[in-house]
A and B are shown apart, each in its own frame.
Chain A
Amino acid sequence: MPAPVPFDPQEIVDAEYKERPTREGVTTKRMICAACDIACSVVGEVQKGRVTKIRSSDNPIFKDNICMKGIVAPKGLAHPNRILHPLKRVGERGSGKFEQVTWEEAMSDISSRLKKIVAEHGPEAWAVSTSQWNTSTDHGLGRRVMNHVGSPNWISGVALCAGNTAAINRFSYGWFPFGDFSNTNCIVLMGHNPRRHSWTPLYNSIRSAQARGAKLIVMDPRRSSSAERADIWLPLKAGSDAAMMFGWLKVIIDEELYDKEFVADWTLGFEELKERVNEYPLDRVADLTGCDPEMIVEAARVYATSGPSIIPWTPITDMQRNSTSGIRLQTILRSICGYVDVPGGELLQGFNPDIVNESAIEMHHVLSDEQKMKQLGSKDHPAFTYRGQLAFREPTKRVYGQEYANLVTGCHMATPSATFRAMAGEGEYPVKAFFFLGNNPLMSYANMPLIHKAMMNQDLIVSHEQFMTPSAQLADYILPADSWLERPWIHDMFGWMSTIRFSEKAMDPPGECKSTFEFWKQVAGALDMPDVVPWDTIEDFYDYRVEGTGKSFADLISDTEVYFKKPAFKTYEKTGFATPSGKVELKSSLLEELGFDPLPYFREDPPHDKDYPLKMFTGVREDPFFQTGHRHIPEMRARCPEPQIYLNEKTAKAAGVSEGDWVTVENQLGKVKALLAIKDAMPDDLVRVPHGWWKPEMAQGNGSLSGAWDYSDAQLCRDDPDYLDLEQGIPHLKGIPCRVVPLAAEVPVDTATSAQHMEPAE
């Protein structure tokens, strides 16, 4: 979203903007990068039918949105180990032995085996795992096919990253807002640390906002690079976000810094909230968070009085024992301070009325209520499942014009842990077929030993992938996936934003690689329901999606790379909020109906275990990698050759380990190997564990799974009840008890190389 523009005529006279010249023999394409999930608008340069360069956009509103992963994509996706043809398993599951087959042979066998499983166990015995940002062209077609078959068991990494936040935000005001960085006066980062190479547009937006005087408040146990640039840094204990926000609310309510008119006119449950907040006096909050009361007071005052302020989405609060309460407390702070749906605040953008949105494409209405109620996890942890979200149908229709709003694809999911238990034969019914697309599920959810057991217990596993990931090594079929260089794309941030962007196809896919559009079209056809995906090509499908603009996809993309909806503010004054009451529900009527505390609360850690004296957090992105990807690219591995844990000097000394040592991080669930780096920016007794590590060059198959059994942090991520959020059933990844011990006789590593480029504070 662009910044406000000055209208001094002299500015026009002084303004300069030069397009970059096009080199001879080079054509350019306006594209959206999918090297990670942030979707930067970029330019691809094409020579001899190949993308040879990715650079930042010529459009000033997207300028500088480029990182190393995007730049290296032409080489990373040309890697000689890319899967170019369909593969069928020929040995035991996990043997790593495959043979090449045709798409037709693969689809014929897949469909007959899936039909048999559905006939024997019911459609709910089929589960799918994906993250749409990796696959891009799915656009809800996977859910659409599943809904027609009758399975509700779709899972995704968005269960603990943005998707769940979207679902929980709805309980307060019916939508998932996006912060207006361009106009805000204050930004609050809750453990989040946007950087040049991770969340790059957010990094640029924060930089821009600070340059025009906006304040930055950072809560983070580490002295991160964002903390170093903040006006206020609150070094809270890992996992204590919700407690900190209770402290802020205590200050804001006691000092009457909230928007009294908005609270009186547009909220429900303020008095009950006040009572709950009074259970958290500042000395208790200081004890729970480890921060000085004076700092808490100062930060709360700045947030409430500098406004409009924003608390952008953070993947940190998403992944905690108190995730639901933490996210709800964010919504409450935004609401009572009057920052919802105002410029500079948190915008409830709604759908773009000219584009067929992905929630509509998914066709949730065709799945019967009986099947919806079978969604795994919905009995114990219903918040983001159909059971938790169905009550939003009427209010969403009233405000946003349709019943289903699957914001960030996170509002109608099965819970991952319950799904894997069912796959392992430990659930309420069996799941025997598992598809995953652009997704490495073995390493992307908590409790890897359970996920491995679950996958080994399947009758049919299908993977749509670019590379032989540890998860793909366990599949029956691996179908070759195309990449973002090789297909067009329409992007609306999965319903989160009303701004629509377009990406041009820049080159042909290599070998027999196909898009997720083609994958689901073939699956629908093989299951004897071709009309479910009736479009012949993805361009036809996009023409259907953009018909409301009065233009074809080709015309639109030649005209612009972005299509805006006319901005509107405070639309709730006409429609109410998309909650059952039409108000902001500080006390949630729906959570109460589901049997949960309707007000936020803070659930403290289980009793201390002396065998595991340290706390670890995981989930941090390293600059060269996105999730479990990119380890195969030489330039990226040169930046970060080995998995590294971080400790401070004091904690390392107490554990008997030193800089450059190979160590193991262990807890009750498992252990991983890593190289130790000493960082003075880390607090005492906290361990930073890197996310998503495996080594593509290591042996494939069950013994090693390319190093996943050595390095994958999912082996440390617990999903037992003490470590699950009650309402959502997602794992606590920010403050897991562990210990660090020396590992003898490991292969020596060039520690000087491994440490370079890594910023001390990250």
Chain B
Amino acid sequence: MNDEQKRIRKKERSTRLAIWMAARSSRNKTFLDRMCRKMIAKAITVDPAKDFMRDEFVDNDQGFDPDELDRYQRGEQLAVGE
């Protein structure tokens, strides 16, 4: 096995491990699950400041009020252009 093949094999093993950890992380029930979750979060979180398309619409989302949505659906508040 040459160096390139060794490098690929190593990468294959680390990818399999990462998928295993992602599965545990997604289950998020046992101590090991949660540890995987923390490690994955640590490894893949990108600094929000480096998000060059940050948007207030996402950052400040408060959701909707259920009663307002009810009134909206009944047509008590008209949509734009109507």
Give chain A's interface residues, CB within 8 Å of chain B: 1-6, 11-12, 14-17, 45, 47-50, 52-55, 59-61, 63-64, 66-68, 71, 74-75, 78-82, 180, 182-183, 195-197, 203-204, 207-208, 211, 225, 229, 342-344, 510, 559-564, 566-567, 569, 632-635, 637-638, 695-697, 759
Contact = CB atoms under 8 A, between A and B. Distances in A.
Contact of B18 (A3, A566, A569): A3
Nearest to B43: A5
A16 to B, nearest CB: 7
A4 B22 CA distance: 10
A342 to B, nearest CB: 6
Contacts of B62: 53
A53 B45 CA distance: 23
Given A59-B26, A208-B44, A12 B64 contact: no
B41 A196 contact: no
A288 B19 CA distance: 43
Contact of B52 (A67, A68, A225): A225
Given A4-B18, A53-B63, A567-B16, A343 B11 contact: yes
| Chief secondary structure at chain B's binding surface | helix
A112 to B, nearest CB: 34
B52 A229 contact: yes
7 contacts: A60-B37, A71-B57, A78-B69, A207-B51, A229-B52, A560-B23, A566-B16
A16 B42 contact: yes
B69 to A, nearest CB: 5
B27 A68 contact: no
Given A52-B65, A61-B40, A75-B69, A2 B51 contact: no
B10 to A, nearest CB: 9
Nearest to B44: A3
A567 B19 contact: yes
B55 A196 contact: yes
Contacts of B11: 183, 342-344
A697 B81 contact: yes
Contact of A2 (B19, B58, B64, B81): B19
A54 B61 CA distance: 9
A11 B26 CA distance: 19
Chain A to chain B: the 7 pairs with minimum beta-carbon distance, closest first: A53-B63, A196-B53, A697-B81, A15-B38, A80-B75, A60-B41, A634-B80
B79 A80 contact: yes
Contacts of B28: 59
B63 A561 contact: no
A54 to B, nearest CB: 8
B27 A560 contact: yes
A1 B19 CA distance: 8
A206 to B, nearest CB: 11
Contact of B38 (A16, A196, A203, A204): A16
